[in-house]
Amino acid sequence: MKKTAFLFLLISAFTFAQTSLLEQKIHSILKNKKATVGVSVLGFENGFKYDKNSDKKLPMQSVFKFHITAAVLNSVDQGKLSLDQKIVLNQSNLLENTWSPLRDKYPAGNVEIPLSEVIEYTVAKSDNNGCDILLKLLGGTQTVQKFMNSKGVKGFQIKYNEEAMHKDWKVQYENYSTTKSAVDVLKKFYDGKLLSKKSTDYLMQVMLSTSTGLNKMVEQLPKNTPVARKTGASGKNSAGLTGAENEIGIITLPNGKHYAIAVFVSNSMETDAVNCRMISDISKEVWEYFNK
């Protein structure tokens, strides 16, 4: 056997062993958990892939704010919208009884703020009112669906806004994604295949400033690790069921390389703390795999 062929086989065997070890560790994290958990990991430079339940169509909750914002920025790229254009905030779009740091900042409404501020609150702070303002600006969820379809994004569906999801627990399941779709769309985004370079850089910076879900993907990573991410959570219904506890993200490694990760915890009877810890522990194991 030639030396190069032997080295290839040796490297392949080592990679397989490492992947199997990662699989075992994730299996251990999820063992006996009363939940459906989808996991996908995609190495950008080395093409590494790991998938568990990656084709299950699971509710996104606020993860869909990434897709919505991408569609808005596509309209910016086309000149239909501008980051500087003014958005009027009033009682009709600052709904009560929903997560809205934007409403907390402008409780009386009757102000005009730039579209960029709405985007930043929607993504980095996961503002539900901001989300629905963006959807109204686009003309509805169908515009987001058409944009994602046009970019070849599979395993993704969006039908309802935040207000509708708050009114009916069941409709969240109509806004779904597979975890495989989530990491694939993040790779398209990173590669500049969704948006212009200017819009890509802008949204990347907004995602890097995300302040929600600090007990999930970033909890056990080294401090100041660059993670461009979007969280999502449903809370629990009256039966104690969590529809979704999710996160997607692009992680930059110390060596300058990158990977995307998506973890969706669905239909869980575990506590909120356990649901978030699953995401945190999986994120830690994946980080350690890439840093061996």
- Distant-in-sequence, close-in-space partners of 68: CB < 8 Å, separation ≥ 6: 122, 131, 134, 135, 138, 144, 158
SS3 245: strand
DSSP string, 55-124: TS-EE-GGGHHHHHHHHHHHHHHTTSS-TTSEEEE-TTTS-SSS--HHHHHSTT--EEEEHHHHHHHHHH
Which residue type, as a one-letter code, is found at position 27? H
* Token pair listed for 175: 């806004």
Residue of 40, 54, 62, 280 marked catalytic: 62
Cβ pair 174, 163 in contact under 8 A: no
Residue of 75, 100, 120, 162 marked catalytic: 162
Cβ pair 243, 57 in contact under 8 A: no
- Is residue 62 among the annotated active site residues? yes
By residue count, the chain amounts to 292
Q: Which residues are bridge partners to 157 per DSSP?
A: 176
* Token pair listed for 88: 């009027």
Question: Between the CA of residue 163 and those of 50, 103, 169, 211, 229, what are the distances in Å?
Answer: 35, 14, 11, 22, 23
Rounded CA separation 124/131 (Å): 11
Q: Which residues are catalytic?
A: 62, 162
